[in-house]
């Protein structure tokens, strides 16, 4: 590399991008290169296009100055690769330039999706022709096809996540930074290319973050996706990593675009929509629908990408035995997130009617309404992971290698015992979104009985030789925690979604007792009430400052004027029954206050009414 300073490369790319973006924006406005709001798009006001010009220029100029086009990557994976492979900087520069032209033409004139796909395949073929491979398969044919698919898929994934202000550039920055951390110890050229890419996207993000002043268009998203996909190939090209790391590191680095593309494609196909059409059904849009602001939704996805990226850095520097302890929890968390978000209703009901005459309708119904198969499979993974993690925590180094054979041989018996106990004790008869203390007790007992059954099975089959009692204690604690965490997360998601999507008039609840808590639950679960609680007032001074399900008890009713000034509300809900004389003065005081301040007053009541069994039909 001619310019081998990471700071200089980053600074040059950042300054170029930050300086060129406003110039491109002014030109776009002058030339009427504007993205107008559409029904299937998220933005609500006309916004300048062609930000990809600044991104590509800020990437290409430092690459031209920095790359030694005759250099080769140092290859340490096997001996079946030809020499003379160009530098990754050159491969990215040529391929990105081609896709930039295609994207620019698409932004100006629109290209049909299949024609754009052909262009992406051509660019990917160039990279493979130069000798880059993903190294997932021993077969050259399979690995070549996997590499082509990977580059095209990731390029499209970044194109798809360019659906909200700052999302594509921000996720790209997180992914490129993760790759820079991975390459820094052993691969100078890929490290510097990643740093240049970070600078080019960071300078543009200044103008693209919410509220966006300019969009990158396909000219930017295709360049970003292609560049990062090629960079991920360098991990297996320059580092003698085990197969698990070669499989997981690229996926973890790009987990956010992979998750979004998979979720959107799967749901669109099941709903009878074309996967290539635009829509407001992406991960970011679903987060907004459950109550996130646009900025928070984007920042949340940055965070998810950051966690997955740090996991990738850890895996790249660890052995396969240790890596599993990080890979499995991250992938499980993403899987659960996808399950939660897929339940958000995005399309009109009539759009789902096209499924009624299709063969996969039963699958959709099973996944959406009867998710027991999914839950059983999830438990299978959790139980296997908890047993593995127990061995990983109990033993280390050579000792772990010695006992690992025992783990592999006993794992089927342990899983079978626990799953049988779960079935017999009724674990799968409950509804997770309504998990209660009784359910928690059942899960704890079922996990304990399952562990005892596993010990009995291991004793019967292997006479408990070379097994540690501590393994099963650790396994019980981990398995119980994972089971409760997975099930509790369903209820947490449902409750969070309901709270964040509450809309209507702001109210205050008078009475922070048992009835007040029931009223709060009804408000959260019944959107038709169209009220949003601010908090409680209660004449019991001891309750002041405490909370009920996260809502504060502000103080006694006599201070309601002060609360009204701090938290404007339009009504009061009385949670206690005024049928007895004890509550009558409080009820009258609330009524008087509402009349004098122009507020509405409603009373919550639960009772059982007799039904006339002799009533005529």
508 and 486 fall within a common domain: no
523 and 436 fall within a common domain: no
Owning domain of residue 544? 503-603
Q: How far is CA 534 from the centre of its chain?
A: 30
Number of domains observed in the structure of the chain: 3
Where among 499, 524, 553 does a domain terminate? 499
Residue carrying structure tokens 């017999």: 424
**Residue 544, in any domain of the structure:** yes
pLDDT per position as a tens digit, 143-155: 999 999 999 999 9
Instruction: Name the least confident of 352-356, 413-417, 528-532.
Output: 352-356
- Which three-class secondary structure state does DSSP give residue 565? helix
Residue 189, pLDDT score = 87
Percent of the chain at pLDDT above 90? 44
pTM exceeding the 0.75 threshold for the entire prediction: yes
167 and 305 fall within a common domain: yes
200 and 285 fall within a common domain: yes
CATH number at residue 588: 3.40.50.720
Q: What's the pLDDT band for 81 if we cut at 50, 70, 90?
A: very low
pLDDT per position as a tens digit, 96-141: 999 999 999 988 888 888 888 899 999 999 998 888 889 999 888 8
Q: Is the pLDDT of residue 368 over 50?
A: no
Residue carrying structure tokens 């990105």: 96
φ, ψ for residue 601, nearest 5 deg = -130, 130
**Residue 513, in any domain of the structure:** yes
Between 231 and 394, the more confident residue is 231
Dihedral over Cα of 62, 64, 68, 74: its sign: positive
Residue 296, pLDDT score = 93
Residue 577, pLDDT score = 64
175 and 95 fall within a common domain: yes
Residue 43, pLDDT score = 63
Tokens for 469, please give them: 């009692």
Q: What's the pLDDT band for 83 if we cut at 50, 70, 90?
A: very low
116 and 203 fall within a common domain: yes
Where among 369, 398, 432 does a domain terminate? 369
304 and 388 fall within a common domain: no
Where among 338, 369, 400 does a domain terminate? 369
234 and 169 fall within a common domain: yes
**Residue 617, in any domain of the structure:** no
Residue 272, pLDDT score = 67
pLDDT per position as a tens digit, 573-599: 998 765 555 577 888 888 899 999 899
Q: What's the mean per-residue pLDDT of the chain?
A: 84
Q: What DSSP assignment string belongs to 307-326?
A: HHHHHHHHHHTS-HHHHHHH
Mean pLDDT confidence for 332-342: 86
266 and 410 fall within a common domain: no
Instruction: Name the least confident of 124-138, 224-238, 421-435.
Output: 421-435
Mean pLDDT confidence for 222-247: 89
Strands of 505-510's sheet in order across? 547-548, 551-555, 531-537, 505-510, 571-574, 600-603
**Residue 608, in any domain of the structure:** no
Alpha helices in 370-436 (DSSP H): 372-394, 397-424
Distance CA 222, CA 525 (A): 43
- Which three-class secondary structure state does DSSP give residue 202? helix
Q: Is the pLDDT of residue 10 over 80?
A: yes
Residue carrying structure tokens 């492979």: 85
């Amino acid at each position: 590399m001619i310019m081998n300073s990471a700071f200089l490369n980053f600074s040059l790319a950042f300054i170029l991008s930050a300086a060129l973006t406003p110039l491109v924006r002014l030109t776009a406005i002058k030339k009427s290169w504007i993205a107008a709001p559409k029904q299937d798009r998220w933005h609500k006001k006309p916004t300048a296009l062609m930000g990809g010009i600044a991104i590509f220029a800020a990437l290409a100029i430092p690459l031209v100055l920095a790359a030694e086009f005759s250099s080769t990557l140092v290859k340490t994976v096997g001996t079946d690769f030809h020499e003379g492979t160009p530098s990754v900087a050159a491969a990215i520069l040529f391929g990105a330039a081609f896709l930039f032209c295609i994207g620019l033409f698409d932004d100006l004139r629109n290209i049909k999706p299949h024609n754009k796909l052909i262009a992406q395949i051509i660019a990917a073929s160039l990279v493979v022709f130069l000798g880059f491979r993903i190294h997932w398969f021993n077969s050259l044919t399979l690995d070549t096809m996997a590499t082509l698919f990977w580059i095209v898929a990731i390029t499209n994934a970044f194109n798809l996540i360019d659906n909200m202000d700052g999302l594509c550039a921000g996720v790209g920055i997180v992914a490129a930074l993760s790759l820079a951390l991975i390459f820094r110890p052993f691969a100078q050229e890929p490290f510097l290319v990643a740093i240049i890419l970070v600078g080019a996207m960071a300078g543009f993000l200044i103008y693209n973050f919410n509220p966006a002043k300019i969009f990158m268009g396909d000219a930017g998203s295709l360049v970003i996706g292609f560049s990062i996909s090629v960079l991920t190939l360098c991990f297996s090209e320059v580092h003698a990593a085990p197969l698990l790391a070669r499989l997981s590191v690229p996926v973890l680095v790009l987990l956010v675009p992979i998750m979004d593309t998979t979720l959107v494609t799967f749901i669109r196909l099941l709903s009878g929509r074309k996967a290539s059409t635009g829509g407001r059904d992406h991960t970011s849009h679903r987060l907004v629908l459950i109550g996130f602001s646009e900025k928070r939704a984007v920042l949340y996805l940055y965070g998810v990408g950051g966690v997955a990226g740090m996991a990738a850095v850890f895996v790249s520097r660890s052995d396969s035995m240790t890596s599993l302890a990080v890979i499995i929890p991250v992938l499980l968390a993403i899987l659960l997130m996808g399950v939660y978000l897929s339940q958000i209703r995005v399309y009109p009901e009539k759009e789902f009617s096209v499924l009624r005459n299709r063969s996969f309708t039963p699958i959709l119904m099973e996944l959406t309404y009867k998710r027991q198969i999914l839950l059983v499979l999830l438990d299978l993974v959790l139980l296997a992971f908890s047993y593995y993690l127990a061995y990983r925590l109990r033993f280390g180094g050579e000792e772990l290698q010695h006992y690992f054979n025992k783990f592999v041989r006993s794992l089927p018996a342990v899983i079978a015992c626990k799953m049988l106990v779960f079935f017999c004790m009724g674990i799968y008869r409950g509804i997770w979104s309504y998990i209660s203390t009784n359910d928690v007790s059942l899960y704890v007992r079922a996990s304990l009985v399952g562990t005892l059954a596993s010990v009995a099975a291991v004793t019967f089959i292997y006479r408990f030789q070379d097994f540690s009692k501590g393994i099963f204690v650790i396994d019980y604690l981990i398995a119980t925690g994972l089971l409760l965490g997975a099930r509790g997360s369903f209820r947490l998601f449902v409750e969070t979604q309901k709270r964040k999507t509450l809309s209507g008039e702001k109210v205050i609840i008078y009475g922070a007792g048992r009835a007040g808590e029931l009223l709060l639950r009804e408000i959260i679960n019944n959107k038709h009430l169209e009220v949003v609680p601010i908090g409680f007032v209660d004449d019991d001074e001891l309750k002041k400052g405490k909370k009920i399900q996260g809502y504060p008890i502000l103080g006694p009713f006599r201070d309601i004027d002060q609360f009204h000034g701090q938290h404007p509300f339009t009504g009061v809900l009385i949670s206690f029954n005024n049928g007895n004389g004890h509550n009558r003065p409080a009820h009258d005081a609330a009524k008087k206050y509402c009349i004098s301040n122009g507020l509405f007053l409603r009373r919550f009541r639960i009772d059982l009414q007799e039904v006339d069994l002799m009533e005529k039909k």
